Every structure is written in structure tokens, then in C-alpha cells.
Structure 1
Amino acid sequence: MTDLIVRLFVPHADDIADAAVRTRYGLVAGVTGIVCNVLLCVAKGAVGLLAGSVSIVADAVNNLSDAASNVVSLLGFKLASKPADANHPYGHGRFEYLAGLVVAALVLAIGLNLAWSSVQKIVAPEPVEFSWALVVVLALSILVKLWMAAFNRTLGRRISSDTLEATSVDSRNDVISTAAVLSCAVVSQVTGLQLDGWAGLAVGVFIVWSGVGLVRDTVSPLLGQAPSPELVEHIRKRIMSYPGVLGTHDLMVHDYGPGRQFASAHVEMAAEADPMESHDLIDNIEQDFKDEDGLIVTLHYDPIVTDDPQVNDMRNWINQAVKQIDARLTIHDLRTVPGPTHTNVIFDCVRPHDLALDNDELRRRVSELVRERYPRCICKITIDDSYVSSRQ
């Protein structure tokens, strides 16, 4: 069913790097969700009012809020597709993240409201009228929401959308809440126990817990989270795959919304090579990233002396030695300035953010390692913070 809907309503569906295709996915998901949720709200609302069940009415209101969430998601995709302008040169892609945050906040608010209504029902319980119409409507609701959860999860993963992933989680929560309501209605009919309020409270607590997680997940990209280890490794491997590239470091990735990422990095190349050829290679790497990954990359050329065996040996030794302090430490841009009494060894050291040592202590530890091997050398170390995930 999902593939059929995509084929019917999303032209060029495989070209997910195209902003227009991505927007079309969002519109299809939003309209589908609005239609399904409004129908479920009407059906469950009618049954809940007739049965006098606070949990079923709350479940119906939950579907209505889901429809509102779908409207928010739809608007988010539409606004995110706006092109860049003078005030927003990187586009409007973060509207999609904002839409995801609004959906998460709505989920949290619904959970709190349901929990409060359920507490009132526990304090003042009222009998719930059982009917087969109630069973049929709730069972159909579970089936529809199961499909919606899978539908939004599939589309969300296909276009890497946190908003659709959040909508999928919300639909999953609806399955759990409706199943709990149905189970308690059956148990109450069989045993006579009034479990309606308790069922609503359990569902409300679960939705609140889920909403908190969704808020955390949707806030992270807005705050500027580290790029995924997979993306970091992909960029590193692609850069290193070009002949003449000796190393890369200082990678930074800026996320302005799905499909709108910008990256910068330093590329080490032989200082003895023709600078015009090196510059041309860097231009080609940047263009290849844009053409093949839709990623705008800016590369900085770092010339490295390669015809001095002593400097090469020192660079390799120090790069391995610093891993005695922490396996994630690396160095780059090493050069030496010999003098009559000592040699200055100048290089950068990249530290992960969670390293226990502060910058001064790290400089001291690295300097001691180097002095043990090269007694005449004095280290001049610049500490660089890593802007990529330490999980790589």
C-alpha cells in the first residue's frame, strides 16, 4: 500500500535529494494522516460519548490532535521547501525540524491532559456502557494506526525525516493506548471492575514519557548536533580516495535542514607538488561532493613536507604516541624550525570534547612524550576541538 501511494502521488520518488520530491513526500504523508485521523476521531468520539467512557473520548481527542500534528508537519514541509533568500541564504530547511518539535510538544500535551482526565475518572468512577460497536471501532482503529505507524516510518527513513519519524512514534503510541482502552473495556464488562480511569492514566503516562523522548530528539538538530559517524566516515573516505591526498582533518558539518548540509575540511597534500595541480584536485573533490552527494563542501589546502625523512618519521611517531594518552587523539600540520640549541616542533592536536584533560594538561602530557623521544625538541601545540561525533 505504501509503495502504491508513493508511485501514485510522488513523481520521481527515488530522487530524494531533490527538495521538490522531498516536499511531495511530506505532503502525501500529511494529507494521508489528516484523513485517517479525522475519520478515527469521529468514529471513536461517537462511540465514546454513547458509552460514557473518558478513555475512549480522550482517545478520540488524541486522534484529533494527531490530525493537527499532521497539519503542522504538512506546513513544515511546505515552508522548508522555500528557496534561499537574502535573509536566509542557507534556505528554510529547519522549518521541518521546528515542525517535528511542535508535533513532539503536542504529543506531550496530550499525554498530560489524558493523565489528568484519567485521575479525575479514578476519583469519581462512572460505569462504561459496553457494546460491540465499541469493540469494532477500537479494533479498526488499532489496525489503521498500525498501518499509519509503518507508513510514516517507511517514508521517514526513506527521506531521513525526523518529523515523519516522530509522527510514526505517535501512531505507535496510539496503537498502545487504544489497545489498552479496548482491553480494559472488555475486562470491565467481564469482571465488573471499573478500570477505565486506570487505563487512561497508564496510557497518559506512557504518552508523556514518549513525548519527552521526542522533544529531546527533535531539539537536538536545532541545537546543532554532531554529524553521524556514518556521514563523517563517508566524507573522510571519499576525500582520501583521491590520488595525492595525504590526510584530512578539521571536518565541520553544518545542518540547515534535511538535504541542506554544508561541510568544510582541511586536506593535506605534498608541499613539493605543483600548487596549481593541487588546487585543481581540491576543486574537483568539492564538485564531486556537490554532484554525487548534494553536499556543499569547502576544502582548505594544507601543504605537507614529504621529502624530509626525519620530519616524516617524527610526524608518524608523534601521531601514534599521543594515542597513549587517548586513542582518539590525532595531530596534523606538523613542521619543524631547527635552531642552534633546540628545535621547535609546531603542530595541532585534535581533542574530543569529552576528554578529561584540559588543554594545558594535554599540552604538557604530549610535550613530555615528545621530549622523551626527542630531547632537543620543544613543542608548540595548538589544541583543536573535534566537531564530529566521538563515536567514529
Structure 2
Amino acid sequence: MDDRRPTANNHDSAKLLKLATYASVTTAAVLIVVKLAAYITTNSVSVLASLIDSLLDAGASVINLFAVRYALAPPDSEHRFGHGKAESIAGLAQAMFIAGSGVFLIIESIERWVQPRPINELGVGLAVMVFAIVATLILLVIQAYVIRRTNSVAIKADSLHYKTDLLTNAAIIVALLLSQQGWYAMDPLFAFGVAIYILYSAGQVAKEAFNDLLDRELPDDQRDDILRIATDHPQVLGAHDLRTRVSGRTVYIQLHLELDDDMHLSESHKIADNREAALRQAIPGADIVIHQDPASIVERRIDDVIGTGENGPS
């Protein structure tokens, strides 16, 4: 399963996220210029598809830039849990951008299928697509490193549609070569295929953004790890009521520890602090709330549930 936990501290994360957003905006701007020149020269609908995708990439990257800056702002009196969900909102906005480009390309490719046109200056188109592939690969390497360190939803979304760009550019090279051999229908056909893949990618981005906005629990294997760490103490008798969620780069954890009934409050507090420190070491930057319960209360709850059953008290 995908590990949603960030590994960098807050200061390093801020620097990495800013690096990724600036690199994304710069790459998109450069690609827009070269692809616009290539489309004017070649009149290829596949190149137009790539140009439109880069325009939307630029818009999405600008949204990312502002969203990440906002998400990095510390908690305040009106946002006590911070501003991390701005990243998920940005991811959702990017999904709409990506879906819009997919719909436009479907319409444009159908029109060009009905009225095929020859492609001019094949060499220019191929050179631009190769340049776009190299620039995109460099950006993806930067984004992959940032994602590993921060687990940013916004950068994940940005990286996903740049990966689609990589496939788009490779497909366009094939389409240009086939069209030059007289297979003009290949140009709109490849554009249509790219459009379908773009729509699929939009769905994936939207799904992850929705999950974070709706406070979906961490994957089961990560929850199991949290419970294992929480109970890895000789005086901890168990744990229950674990609740988790992710907001931006912060993982939120709430759980109840089961301790001996006769334990002093100061001792139970010390144990809870110990388990919190262990969890924070495993999940840097996590926001953790641990409640201490006497074990007998937990046992009585279980007995009440068993005694009540589905049909009421026995």
C-alpha cells in the first residue's frame, strides 16, 4: 500500500515543496513556448493536444504554488489544525483542469478525424517532443524525491499529470512519424487515446484528494503499525478506539491506552508520553492524542456488548 506518512521535518518539507512548485511552473512555461511554436509550424492536432495539456499544467502548477504556500502556514486561532487541506483542494482543482483538457482533446480529435489534414515540418515537431520528454523527465525526478520526503498530495497530483505528459509526448512522436507516411488518421487517433488516459488520470487525482478532504483512515497496515507501537510497553495492556486521518503533510492519530486500574495518574501519563514519543519517532510531525483508560472499564464495555447482543439484554 501507499505510505502516506511524510519523512522530512517541517523546515525541510517547506523547502522541498517550494522547490517542486517552482520547478513545475518553470517547466510548464518553457514547454508552452516551444509547443506553441511547434503547433504553428506543424499544424498537428497531436502537438495541439500536448500544447493544451501544458497550458493546463501551467494553470495547475500556479494553483499548486499558492496552495502549498498557504498549506505551509502554521496553525492560527481560526485554523487550529493548520492549513494542510489546501493541498488536497489544489489536487481537486487539478483534477478538474486535467478532465477539462481531456474533454477538449476528444472533441478536437473527432473533428480532425472527420477532416484529416497533412502535417508540416516533421523535424520541428519531433525535436520539440524530444525536448519536452527530456524536460519532463528532469521535473519528474525532482518531484519523485519531494514526494518521498513530504508525501504531498498536491505534488503527487502535479507529478501524475506530468507522467501523462511523458506518455503523451512519446505517443505524439509515433503519431507524427505515421502521419508523415500518409497515415493521417493516426494523428487524431493518438490524440483521442491520450484524452482517454487523461480522463482516467483526473479520476485518480480526484479520488485521492476526496479521501483526504473526507478524513479517510490510514491504510490497515499503517494502522496495525500504530497499534503495535502504542502497545509495545510492558505496562500497556491494550489499545482501542484508534482514529487516524491526514491533512496535508500531517498525520493525526487518536487512541486509548488500556492500563492497570490501580496505576497512579502520574505514572499513566508518563507511559502515554513514552508511547507518544515512540509514535512520533516512527511518524515525524504527527499530531497525537492519547487517552488513558483503566483496563476494567474496557472489559465492562466488552461484557456489556456481549450481554446485550442483537436482541437486547439476556
TM-based fold match above 0.5: yes
Secondary structure of 2:197's counterpart equals: helix
Q: After superposition, where does 1:1-392 map in structure 2 within 5 Å?
A: 16-18=8-10, 20-259=11-250, 261-286=251-276, 289-290=279-280, 293-305=284-296, 333-335=298-300, 346-348=303-305, 363-364=309-310
Q: In structure 1, what is the equivalent of residue 3 of structure 2?
A: none
Higher RCO (C-alpha 8 Å, min separation 6): 2
Using the alignment, how far apart are the partners of 2:17 and 2:278 within structure 1? 28
TM-score (norm 2): 0.88
The aligned amino acid for 2:220 is P
Q: Indicate conservation of the 8 Å contact 2:75/2:82, yes or no.
A: yes
Identity in percent: 24
How large is the RMSD of aligned CA atoms in angstroms? 2.5
Q: Indicate conservation of the 8 Å contact 1:239/1:285, yes or no.
A: yes
Q: Deviations over 1:182-210 (max 9, x none)?
A: 11111111235442222211111111121
Q: CA deviation at 1:92?
A: 0.7
TM-score (norm 1): 0.72
Q: Deviations over 1:22-42 (max 9, x none)?
A: 222121111111212211111
- Relative to its length, the structure with more strand (as a share) is 1
Q: Indicate conservation of the 8 Å contact 1:184/1:195, yes or no.
A: yes
Secondary structure of 1:244's counterpart equals: coil
Q: In structure 2, what is the equivalent of residue 312 of structure 1?
A: none
Secondary structure of 2:303's counterpart equals: strand
Using the alignment, how far apart are the partners of 2:106 and 2:214 within structure 1? 30
Using the alignment, how far apart are the partners of 1:164 and 1:37 within structure 2? 14
Q: Which moved more, 1:194-203 or 1:276-285?
A: 276-285
The aligned amino acid for 2:190 is A
Q: Indicate conservation of the 8 Å contact 2:45/2:112, yes or no.
A: yes
Using the alignment, how far apart are the partners of 2:278 and 2:20 within structure 1? 32
Could you list the runs of 5+ residues in structure 2 that have no partner in the other structure?
Answer: 1-5
Using the alignment, how far apart are the partners of 1:92 and 1:62 within structure 2? 29
Quick one: structure 1 residues 131 and 149, their matched pair in 2 at CA, closer, same or farther if it must change by over 3 Å? same
- Relative to its length, the structure with more helix (as a share) is 2
The aligned amino acid for 2:276 is E
Q: CA deviation at 1:282?
A: 2.3
